[in-house]
Structure 1
Amino acid sequence: MLSLRSVHHIAIICSSYEVSKRFYTEILGFTVVGEYYRAERNSYKLDLALNDSYTLELFSFPDPPARVSGPEACGLRHLAFAVDDIHVAVAKLQENGIMPEPVRVDEYTGKKFTFFRDPDNLPLELYES
């Protein structure tokens, strides 16, 4: 068995680098750790942290194919973020023109959660912890 310590990062390929950069930094609150242009790939790589912990790599590539994310396709289902107050988080999303699904309650944990989409229609979740 491998001795995994934690998830190091999650990589996302976006269709519009500037739109996704704004979404993940200005709306979701990630901070930029590093930003690199890779001329040989005509691609940007943006390293992002959440609460000082390296979390996301955001990539741009010319003309990436669309990924099927619904209906429930095989593969990564969604990326979930823990929040202290789901209603405050939902209000912040709505202030930025993002309309999440209605808040639901996890039948097993009793915790509140909701889903919303990033600029490329990737499913994201907020989970009250």
Structure 2
Amino acid sequence: MFNRIHHIAIICSDYEKSKDFYVNKLGLTVLSEVYREARKSYKLDLAVNGLYQIELFSFENPPARPSRPEAQGLRHLAFEVDDIAVEIARINAVGITTEPIRVDEFTDKRFTFFSDPDGLPLELYEKEVG
């Protein structure tokens, strides 16, 4: 039986730009950072709200991948937030553009999308109260 999602791995095209985005703009916490000489690759472990959840990798010349929300494969990564308006204002203030807020037709929760430096679709989804 599965317990939970352990982590999500993201391969970026520009490590420093993506590290700045996830750490300085989104505010994720760095748990560890290593450079693997044999692979010429960085691995950055990040925490979301104190929980290890994202691995950010760099590799030499990674192939491009379609990253539209309706492309086949993994659709997007969603971050739960307490107040979507507050988080939108926070990330807009550091230069991240978000789509207009939408409402989930099944849960009535508010959400929006934005992209990381490589065009990976990211979502803010308002927390379930209760």
User: For the superposition of Structure 1 and Structure 2, which TM-score range results when normalised by the shorter chain?
Assistant: over 0.9
Residue in 2 that maps onto 1:50: 48
Correspondence 1:1-129 to 2 at 5 A: 3-70=1-68, 72-129=70-127
Across the aligned residues of Structure 1 and Structure 2, the Cα RMSD in angstroms comes to 0.9
What 5-or-longer segments of structure 1 have no aligned partner? none
Task: Give SS of 2:92's match.
Answer: helix
Deviation at 1:50, TM superposition (A): 1.2
Count of residue pairs the alignment pairs up? 127
Deviation at 1:71, TM superposition (A): 6.0
Q: Give the percent of matched residue pairs that are identical in Structure 1 and Structure 2.
A: 64
What 5-or-longer segments of structure 2 have no aligned partner? none
Deviation at 1:27, TM superposition (A): 1.3
Q: TM-score, normalised by structure 1?
A: 0.95
> For the residues of structure 1 that align with 2:26 and 2:35, how far apart are their CA atoms?
23
- Answer yes or no: is the 8 Å Cα contact 2:69–2:75 preserved in 1: no
Q: TM-score, normalised by structure 2?
A: 0.95
Mark the CA change 1:71 to 1:12 in structure 2 (over 3 Å): closer, same or farther: closer
The aligned amino acid for 1:75 is G
> For the residues of structure 1 that align with 2:79 and 2:69, how far apart are their CA atoms?
21
